[in-house]
Amino acid sequence: MSRPQQVARPIVRSLQQSRSITVCPSRSIAARQFSTTANRKDEGTTVEQQPRASATQRLSDTLSGSHWTPEQLEKLTSHTMGSRRRRAAIATSSDIPFEQMPYQCFQEARKILNEDRQEKIAQIVAETEKIKHLEAADASTMRGGEPYKQKRLESLRKYVEELKILADINDPLVKRRFEDGMGDMNKPIYRYLADRKWRSMDYKITVQRINQFHIVPDVLPKFDPTMDVKLSFRGQPIAPGATLNSRVTEVAPTLKMQVFDAGTRLLSVVVLDADVPDLESDFFTRRCHYLATNIPWDPTKKQLPLRQIGTPTSQTGGDLAVPWLPPFAQKGSPYHRLAVFVLEHNANEKIDVTKLTERYDGSGRELFSLKGLRDKFKLKVAGFSIFRTEWDENTAAVMERHGILGADVEFKQQHFKSLKGPRKARGWEAKRQKPKYRSLWKYTKRLA
């Protein structure tokens, strides 16, 4: 039997079956024939019913508005793309929802998972009861007093959060929705999955950039990122640490940010150049290229276009303290590290923007200290991303457009004088310069 036939066999068989048998019109026909297992009635907190439609339609419906681009969406839903196995599956399983996939093992496994879930939910209920009971109890009756009570409550709440994740972690629907980018970030399970995914690779890359570009001793003495920050210039996502053309970086980037803990918080965004050459002191200093503050943020939010902050049409909110200054590097200077930091406010307290503006705007941009900002306004550094800039063919034009001086300067390597003394002239001519060889001077003295 050929491969596609093998693949399509169960589907074909089920379709043949469906023609001969008619049972239970109230339930979906496809689900009945494929297995003896019952439909999962309780979809739980994280499961919604999906309307019947053609497979392609349904796929495009579920995926549209998520993180797929239109091209990717088209590729995913088209009949012509993919393996013959996939195409056969898409073509013949038009009205079977994912949770009713006609595979007995799948359905049996779902049953087991559902049992486990019920168990976990019961545990959550019990623990919540315990918490309520403890909250109502008088702390003076306990041996440890109030601190003990608070500690106990805290650990119980932590356990409940853990259970919430454990209840849904094995659900194939949850997994599917997360992978399609449709997960509701208000729910702990999706936040947990997102965090796990981030830590599996992107976090590691970020940490590597922090170390290899010496962000840690140069800008901050210690730093461990807790949120995902990705950069994109002019709609193009960039790899952390990429060297970008100055024309690309002329406009402020868009940050794609994801936080993994619940609740709304206020954020500040700082972009700084960590390699500004200062020839007078012969040291590298730092310059602030952008500073925005009081940006409300929660796990459901995704994109933050920096150029929109402070404008009346801004969707995201927040105040602009220091507007975007295009990054530039004078000719001959080594690459400049442009570090993007996202800082979390302490206890959701707003920062006075005017204070920030008068402190850091204008001449205050130079000799910028992130540590100073952090300590003065009690911020916590949470997210990080980086790009680099070098002198290129567009830098002069960009600097001119934005009124930045210094495009006419070129840096050259400092020359050090040799430590050795001047060397005595050697060779045939040098030897015959003496008066002893006066007769040869006509050959030795006229040399250029």
Q: Is 20 in the site for another protein (CB under 8 A)?
A: no
Please report how close the Cβ of residue 402 comes to another protein at its closest, in angstroms.
Answer: 18
Torsion angle (degrees, nearest 10) of CA 242, 248, 249, 255: -70
Nearer to another protein, 5 or 264 (CB): 5
Q: Is 105 in the site for another protein (CB under 8 A)?
A: no
> Among 105, 416, 421, 448, which residue interacts with another protein (rule: CB under 8 A)?
416
> Among 41, 415, 424, 436, which residue interacts with another protein (rule: CB under 8 A)?
415
Q: Which residues of 387-400 are buried (b: 16+ CB within 10 A; e: fewer)?
A: bbbbbbebbbebbe
Please report how close the Cβ of residue 436 comes to another protein at its closest, in angstroms.
Answer: 35
Q: What value, to the nearest 5°, has the Cα angle with vertex 432 and ends 431 and 434?
A: 95
What is the distance between the alpha carbons of residues 258 and 256, in angstroms, rounded to a whole number?
A: 7
Q: Rounded to the nearest 5°, which phi and psi values hold at 243? A: -90, 120
Please report how close the Cβ of residue 416 comes to another protein at its closest, in angstroms.
Answer: 4
Q: Is 222 in the site for another protein (CB under 8 A)?
A: yes
Q: Residues near 388 by Cβ (< 8 Å), separated by ≥ 6?
A: 241, 242, 243, 244, 335, 336, 337, 338
Please report how close the Cβ of residue 392 comes to another protein at its closest, in angstroms.
Answer: 13
What is the distance between the alpha carbons of residues 394 and 248, in angstroms, rounded to a whole number?
A: 9
Q: Is 88 in the site for another protein (CB under 8 A)?
A: yes
DSSP 124-148: HHHHHHHHHHHHHS-GGGSSSHHHH
Nearer to another protein, 41 or 417 (CB): 417
What is the distance between the alpha carbons of residues 137 and 154, in angstroms, rounded to a whole number?
A: 15
What would the two tokens of residue 385 be?
A: 């991303």
- Bridge partner list, 231: 255
Sign, Cα dihedral of 425, 426, 429, 435? positive
Q: Is 49 in the site for another protein (CB under 8 A)?
A: no
> Among 60, 62, 92, 394, which residue interacts with another protein (rule: CB under 8 A)?
92
Contact 227, 259 (CB under 8 A): yes
Q: Is 408 in the site for another protein (CB under 8 A)?
A: yes
Q: Is 12 in the site for another protein (CB under 8 A)?
A: yes
Site string for another protein, 329-348 (x = CB under 8 A): --xxx---------------
> Among 25, 217, 235, 403, which residue interacts with another protein (rule: CB under 8 A)?
217
Q: Is 393 in the site for another protein (CB under 8 A)?
A: no
Q: Is 414 in the site for another protein (CB under 8 A)?
A: yes
Sites of contact with another protein (CB under 8 A):
2, 4-5, 8-9, 11-12, 15-16, 79-80, 84, 87-88, 91-92, 214, 216-219, 221-222, 277-279, 282-284, 331-333, 407-419
